[in-house]
Structure 1
């Protein structure tokens, strides 16, 4: 099915959690194919697991190079710097400053408190009765509360930064002018918080980053503000999407849900399989540029050419995962790359894992008979965003009416 003309990308509108079947065809017959996004230059698309890991982890593929190219992208706005457009060693320098707050040991110490937050949210759902909107009543406030406490951001300001956060993930939901305006507002807001913490330090991540800036000269003021804003957005947005995504998948796979209810100790493994199975991104991830000629997937990628990776397609690679289209919560195979791979592997992966585990355990334990309030067809999905997920998802449970 090799074609000389690049295919228009994305291949179809990501309206729910279905993955376009063309990915599977390309993975088998044309693992590196040419695509043309709405904006920017033509790119290569990698769909196989091993090729994806090479592009994400090999230093011959650069993220920083996007700042010097007309990068392939889903929206008119181009990248404007920050941690996601850096390569080592600059990327390593900044990442290390925040990574200490997200180690597995520190995250595990947070688990009891996150369980308390989750229980409190379910208490509210039970008090109000069914139906409850899983998104507004649970999935959003859980990670927002956690990241606000960690970073030192007032939870009371969540309505503002929730709106601004869309600018970092919008494809068509917002205009180019709105994206620029919202990002500027977010950065101004964070700069204001930095000034407050500089005057009155606290026991939070933002104060620690300010100390690294002022006392150790490890990052510039702009880097500090952008890093803090990036942590705030990434620290809640994707987890808030994955919680309802996971619940949706479980409710539409009742046999797997029943097994999980009967064996709640399997929740950690279930989270990993759901991370593999759910195509969170509405399209391929950020492009990397080859810094030299590289053979990949039987194709020679020339120096200066961009390659994009579909982690969703790679996580369905049949040469790595048996029956990859099948949800199997007991799967014991290779690690998924749902959190990425290489230098840009998700900084908050351990935190996200823990929050997702707590979310599933709490919902299943405290809301017996959890189900769609009407039907799966009535779930309202996000539109025009880089990530998939329900915008509104009404649920009911036994005794909740």
Structure 2
């Protein structure tokens, strides 16, 4: 059946699925669907994340007659005007001085509130780095060292944020604690497996619901090289507040599962049978690529777990563990795709794409890339051996050289990664 699918048609169909997934998570419409009744008192809008500025603009436009002010922080290049709400920008994935200034500004915005006031916290992926407030005894340099150690460790996003929550003066419900006695409503765009609100942006308004995470054991297992000040803070800084200390409401307004459903509907309209494998796939990016190649080849050869033409859809957040041989560029999506291409070994009739829904895979300018049946051959034509580029974690350079990177620019939302493997 592959003859009916040209390379151009396959690429355009995959891109349409990605675009549908991103559109489903558009911040403006999602915010409007979940706004409460206006408060009797003031409304203070705060927030952090790659989608926070677009979310703030929607709140400002929806409530022109409400006594409303606020401040949110987003990634550099993701700002949009938001009327009465001040938009700040800071660095991601490693925090900078602007991240700390933003955290101080947001904590100041929720001081001296009353019970009739409402705090609307707009949280989305990326907020952990963008909202950085070291606990006593730690500096921003210490926080950056912790963040770098986490990024290089291969830790899952949940594990990273458990450490970040513990070593913060604003995360883990501490922002909501500072806003008492005002009511706190968090509108959240989830980018994490399982949609745990305590994990998105490390939960500045979300108290611990159970026993504190054993961060000491986690640090030991991941062999994190933490600065002395961070180790000292782990010993003396109190754990995040509990739900008995902080009362706040959380509404998840966009999530990976909804975006995958939108991609699936686009696939059906193109004549493909979609199979959603889940929105919480984790693990090493290149290894997931190998696993997914096996499923795709099974479809192609045996019609299992379902016959072609089909598309395998998945979401979640994989990891890339950088070893001594890592020296290149790329994010988890391009590394996943390069691992997939190497494992597929030019199997005919299989195309794939993977991209970060925020438009930035890792820290580079691409959302992701395409894999085609001739990916490896086109790499060889320009002198690139896919296995060597995969070994050096240089997936960006490989796909850039063959013209297969997907560049969307900032999408102003973030529901994590969208992966699609089409078998015809």
Q: TM-score, normalised by structure 1?
A: 0.30
Give 1 or 2: higher strand fraction. Answer: 2
Q: TM-score, normalised by structure 2?
A: 0.29
Give 1 or 2: higher helix fraction. Answer: 1
